[in-house]
Chains A and B, each alone.
Chain A
Amino acid sequence: MKIAVCVKSVPDTETKIAIAADKSNIDQSGVKFITSPYDEFAIEEALRLKEKTNGETTAFSLGGNEVTDVLRDSLARGIDNAVHLKDDEFESLDPLSTAKALAAAIKDGGFDIVFCGQQGVGGDNNMVPSMLAELLDIPQVTLIVKLEVEGNKFKAEREIEGAHEIVEGSLPALFSAQKGLNEPRYPSIKGVMAARRKEIAVKDAAALGLKGQFEKANRKVRIKELALPPVRPQGRRLEGDVDTQVKQLVQLLRMEARVI
């Protein structure tokens, strides 16, 4: 079985966010990049299937130099091959364009399964997986917390509001991982050493047949301004004994905030 995993390099979730001078991005100086947490579940599921089916796994990541460490992390966890989609034209790519580039890289690889994370943290888009499945013309199940594969049939459990759905279908297919799918393993020291020596294939826009497609003027959506959230007005600490505090709180919720 051939398995693709899409991994995104994202700012560490502990990053203190500051806005870059041109207001189109965060200030990336000193930011540590990590594998998007949901992609860790995707990688783990790919590895488990690989072990079960004696398969082959390839990680794909689109981005700048910050992607290299993330692909090394995938390799260190046991992913067999890594492909870096890298081009100046790919800078700050929107989800649809990202999906197009990933589709171009994945489509002729003969993959039975494509794994994604359900969300790339930071961008918080939740869009690339469904877009990629459409462009690859394969079915998808997003937000999965369980997967069983038997021959070319699958049964996946996805989390929805107040319920779980069991989705049945046939491969090839794309799955996006939700927390709960598995417990990701840590890379072993041996894995980390081996990953250092492995080659990461690099593909640019021309190699993917996309030269010129993503030039800034052609983009269908662009960021106008990234800003910090409005500061919440200073809150109020209620004083007095518990009875007084509670009475005051109910009063404030009814009369001042008017939320109950």
Chain B
Amino acid sequence: MGEGILVFIEQRNGQLRKASLEALSEAHRQSAAVGGQVVAVLIGENIKSQTPAIVKCNPSKVFVADGAAYGAYSTEAYAAALTEAIKKANPKYVFSANTAMAKDLIPRVAARLDAPCISDVVEFVVEGGNLLPKKPQYSGKAYGLYEFNNPIAFCTLRPNVFSLYQSSNNHDCPIEDLSANVDKVRAKVAETHASAGQKVELSEASVIVSGGRGIKGPENWPLLEGLCEVLGAALGASRAVVDAGWIDHQHQVGQTGKTVSPQLYIACGISGAIQHLAGMSSSKVIVAINKDPEAPIFKHATYGIVGDVFEVVPKLTEELRKAANN
């Protein structure tokens, strides 16, 4: 039986993922119940300068696999390094943020170690030193609570659900170099193309402003972009407007788009179809602006405004700007 929790910390171009630090924070919170240490592992090239932000979340140790083999992402090289870290730390649980990289990497490593994995965890229930992960299923229409029966188990945690813990005092945390035998790399990232637009990544944004067919046409995005700006929000969209070609698929929220759990979700001119709700119904606060009082979105909204987006949104933007300046 392993001990403690090992957390995979994701970075891209030397930028740590906030959601990884959330996972590390949750490991810290659960460590008293689980017992053992919390160990973080960071994989990449020229990434040593990133360790202070990790140390702030209070791990007992940080493993760093730093080398040219990890410069561009490859499942096989990253899996080799993560497996090596797990062998060294021998944890009871391995945590990661549930991101595109995690969806690729974590199940691969779990299978290598013949270990179970639960993805997209939103809560842990503690039972006699064991963690029971809870995850949304059927697009959030049900929640499954799971029980592991293995010396080691993997969990990927939904971004934006677990709060960040940052220790205020500096504590001693050993940083240990990790080297793994990367012998087999049969597929590797050759290029990365940043998508245009989005300043805040949708799945990690704490505020999202989303537009649907009610905004009438792509020429009206500036209306919502203005609201995004005052709120520091990311821009989301319904599938109807993605399919109509008004905006790129990366903005789509819902069953066939992204699943998001922001603190605040503002739906503008979105009817609230079940497949859209699937992607955003776990948001903390939902605001709906729709001119149809019967629109299904109102059943799920914390606050609803029956009105025309072209009238409400500019006034809301203005009011928020005033409030921000106060």
Q: Which residues of A approach B to under 8 Å, CB–CB?
A: 11, 13-15, 17, 19, 26, 37, 94-96, 99, 118, 121-135, 138-143, 154-155, 158-170, 173, 179-180, 219-229, 232-233, 235-238, 242-243, 245-247, 249-250, 252-254, 257, 259-260
Say yes or no: B287 contacts A249, CB within 8 Å.
yes
Say yes or no: A243 contacts B110, CB within 8 Å.
no
Known: A126-B119, A139-B76, A246-B315. A228 touches B142 (CB 8 A): yes
Say yes or no: A94 contacts B116, CB within 8 Å.
yes
Query: How many whole Å from B218's CB to the nearest CB in chain A?
Result: 18
Binds A, one of B23-31, B40-48, B174-182, B193-201: B193-201
Known: A96-B110, A124-B136. A165 touches B264 (CB 8 A): no
Query: How many whole Å from B244's CB to the nearest CB in chain A?
Result: 15
The distance in angstroms between the C-alpha atoms of A247 and B318, with both chains bound, is 10
Secondary structure of the B contact surface, majority rule = mixed
Q: Say yes or no: is B52 at the interface (Cβ < 8 Å to chain A).
A: no
Say yes or no: A131 contacts B249, CB within 8 Å.
no
For residue B72, which residue of chain A has the nearest CB? A165
Q: Say yes or no: is B305 at the interface (Cβ < 8 Å to chain A).
A: yes
The distance in angstroms between the C-alpha atoms of A15 and B275, with both chains bound, is 11
A residues within 8 A CB of B319?
Answer: 246-247, 249-250
Binds A, one of B1-9, B59-67, B84-92, B143-151: B143-151
Say yes or no: B231 contacts A260, CB within 8 Å.
yes
A residues within 8 A CB of B118?
Answer: 221
Known: A164-B193, A227-B145, A229-B143. A141 touches B302 (CB 8 A): no
- Which residue of A121, A170, A235 contacts B298 across the interface (Cβ within 8 Å)? A235
Say yes or no: B189 contacts A139, CB within 8 Å.
no
Say yes or no: B103 contacts A142, CB within 8 Å.
yes
Give 6 closest A-B pairs by Cβ, nearest first.
Answer: A169-B187, A221-B116, A139-B187, A130-B107, A139-B186, A131-B111
The distance in angstroms between the C-alpha atoms of A159 and B252, with both chains bound, is 13
B residues within 8 A CB of A226?
Answer: 137, 142-145
Q: A118-B103, A225-B145 are in contact. List 12 more A-B contacts (CB 8 A).
A: A124-B138, A128-B107, A142-B100, A221-B117, A222-B147, A226-B137, A227-B142, A227-B145, A229-B140, A229-B281, A246-B316, A247-B319
Q: Say yes or no: is B216 at the interface (Cβ < 8 Å to chain A).
A: no
User: What are 6 residue pairs bridging A and B, where the CB atoms are less than 8 Å apart in the complex?
Assistant: A129-B107, A163-B192, A165-B192, A166-B192, A167-B189, A221-B150
Q: Which residues of B approach A to under 8 Å, CB–CB?
A: 73, 75-76, 79, 99-101, 103-112, 114-120, 132, 135-150, 153, 186-195, 198, 201-204, 207, 231, 249-250, 255-257, 263-264, 274-275, 281-282, 284-287, 298-307, 311-312, 315-316, 319-320, 323
The distance in angstroms between the C-alpha atoms of A237 and B304, with both chains bound, is 5
The distance in angstroms between the C-alpha atoms of A123 and B143, with both chains bound, is 10
- Which residue of B101, B264, B286, B304 contacts A260 across the interface (Cβ within 8 Å)? B264
A164, A247, A253 pick with most chain B CB within 10 angstroms: A253
The distance in angstroms between the C-alpha atoms of A155 and B110, with both chains bound, is 26
The distance in angstroms between the C-alpha atoms of A37 and B257, with both chains bound, is 12
Say yes or no: A161 contacts B201, CB within 8 Å.
yes
The distance in angstroms between the C-alpha atoms of A140 and B147, with both chains bound, is 29
For residue A100, which residue of chain B has the nearest CB? B111
Say yes or no: B298 contacts A250, CB within 8 Å.
no
Say yes or no: A121 contacts B142, CB within 8 Å.
no
Known: A133-B108, A237-B304. A224 touches B138 (CB 8 A): no
B residues within 8 A CB of A163?
Answer: 192-195
Say yes or no: A236 contacts B136, CB within 8 Å.
no
For residue B10, which residue of chain A has the nearest CB? A161
Say yes or no: A139 contacts B75, CB within 8 Å.
yes
Query: How many whole Å from B238's CB to the nearest CB in chain A?
Result: 14
The distance in angstroms between the C-alpha atoms of A222 and B147, with both chains bound, is 5
The distance in angstroms between the C-alpha atoms of A125 and B116, with both chains bound, is 12
Say yes or no: B306 contacts A237, CB within 8 Å.
yes
Say yes or no: B149 contacts A11, CB within 8 Å.
no
Known: A167-B187, A221-B146. A17 touches B105 (CB 8 A): no
For residue A164, which residue of chain B has the nearest CB? B193
B residues within 8 A CB of A237?
Answer: 298, 304-306
Known: A161-B201, A224-B132. A11 touches B138 (CB 8 A): yes
Known: A227-B143, A249-B303. A138 touches B111 (CB 8 A): no
B residues within 8 A CB of A124?
Answer: 119-120, 135-139
The distance in angstroms between the C-alpha atoms of A242 and B311, with both chains bound, is 8
Query: How many whole Å from B153's CB to the nearest CB in chain A?
Result: 7
B residues within 8 A CB of A142?
Answer: 100, 103-104
Known: A122-B138, A165-B73, A257-B302. A131 touches B255 (CB 8 A): no
Known: A138-B186, A229-B143, A245-B305. A166 touches B100 (CB 8 A): no
A residues within 8 A CB of B141?
Answer: 17, 228-229
Known: A166-B192, A225-B145, A236-B303. A220 touches B108 (CB 8 A): no
Query: How many whole Å from A27's CB to the nearest CB in chain B?
Result: 11
A residues within 8 A CB of B132?
Answer: 224
B residues within 8 A CB of A164?
Answer: 192-193, 195
B residues within 8 A CB of A238?
Answer: 303-305
Query: How many whole Å from B53's CB to the nearest CB in chain A?
Result: 18
B residues within 8 A CB of A143?
Answer: 100, 103-104
For residue B262, which residue of chain A has the nearest CB? A259
The distance in angstroms between the C-alpha atoms of A236 and B191, with both chains bound, is 48
